[in-house]
Structure 1
Amino acid sequence: MAREVGLEAFAAAWSAGAVVLDVREPEEYRLGHVPGARLAPLSVPAAALPHVPRGRQVYVICASGSRSQWAADRLAATGLDAVSVAGGTRGWVDSGRPVVAGSAPV
């Protein structure tokens, strides 16, 4: 099972350049996402794999933390160092942290 980190730990990792995968659907992502997060929707499971660098910790985020835990568990099962972000994008926004809207390639 993949680890889960809180928003404070994630914010520190994000500011240091962490790799972030957003596993929400494209419509959710377009409404607002963590700057630099790469879209890897759960509806297209293989979409995440090209964006996951080997040998680096990967932070997986969704709306609240449920989907990201599931996705992080699956990525960890393949040998990746995946971590789920508790509180998700909703918690990120509610804490006043930056978000960007718009699309990005999968």
Structure 2
Amino acid sequence: MPEVQVQAFAAAQADGAFVLDVREPHEYVTGHVPGAQLIPVGQLPARVRDLPRDERIYVICASGNRSRVMTDLLTRNGFDALSVQGGTGEWVRSGRPVVVGPHPNAS
């Protein structure tokens, strides 16, 4: 399974990488990676057409379990995707910033 550690992910995120959060909306609003786009696991199969095909997609969830499954789905559909090891939990534990609320970035 293609995965990336949070340190390497943080560098990519700082450079404007596409971040896909596959958690549920109630999880997302409590804190997510800045810029992360929300498409919950249950909606992703029907919404793959909404994702960019010309750039790598960093898939994140709470701990890395759902993101691994969704990364597998994406790579089988021709996307360049990586699952973030440890998910948002690891992102928070590493002291990185989070955005609270329904929008990808702070308002």
Provide TM-score, normalisation by structure 1. Answer: 0.92
Shift of 1:104: 3.3
Amino acid in structure 2 at the alignment position of 1:40: I
**Structure 1's 96 and 42: CA in aligned 2 closer, same or farther, altered over 3 A?**
same
Secondary structure in 2 aligned to 1:73?
helix
Amino acid in structure 2 at the alignment position of 1:70: V
Number of the residue aligned with 2:66: 67
Q: What aligned pairs does 1:1-106 form with structure 2 within 5 A after superposition?
A: 2-45=1-44, 46-50=46-50, 52-104=51-103
Structure 2 unaligned spans of 5+: none
Amino acid in structure 1 at the alignment position of 2:65: S
Could you tell me whether the CA contact under 8 Å between 1:60 and 1:84 is conserved in 2?
A: yes
Q: 1: CA distance between counterparts of 2:81 and 2:11?
A: 16
Q: 2: CA distance between counterparts of 1:30 and 1:97?
A: 16
C-alpha RMSD over aligned residues: 1.3
Could you tell me whether the CA contact under 8 Å between 1:29 and 1:102 is conserved in 2?
A: yes
**Structure 1's 73 and 17: CA in aligned 2 closer, same or farther, altered over 3 A?**
same
**How many residues get paired?**
103
Q: 2: CA distance between counterparts of 1:68 and 1:58?
A: 11
Could you tell me whether the CA contact under 8 Å between 1:21 and 1:48 is conserved in 2?
A: no
Q: 2: CA distance between counterparts of 1:95 and 1:81?
A: 25
4+ runs deviating over 3 angstroms: none
Structure 1 unaligned spans of 5+: none
Shift of 1:84: 0.3
Q: 1: CA distance between counterparts of 2:2 and 2:56?
A: 11
Secondary structure in 2 aligned to 1:28?
helix
Indicate the percent of aligned positions where both proteins have the same amino acid. Answer: 56
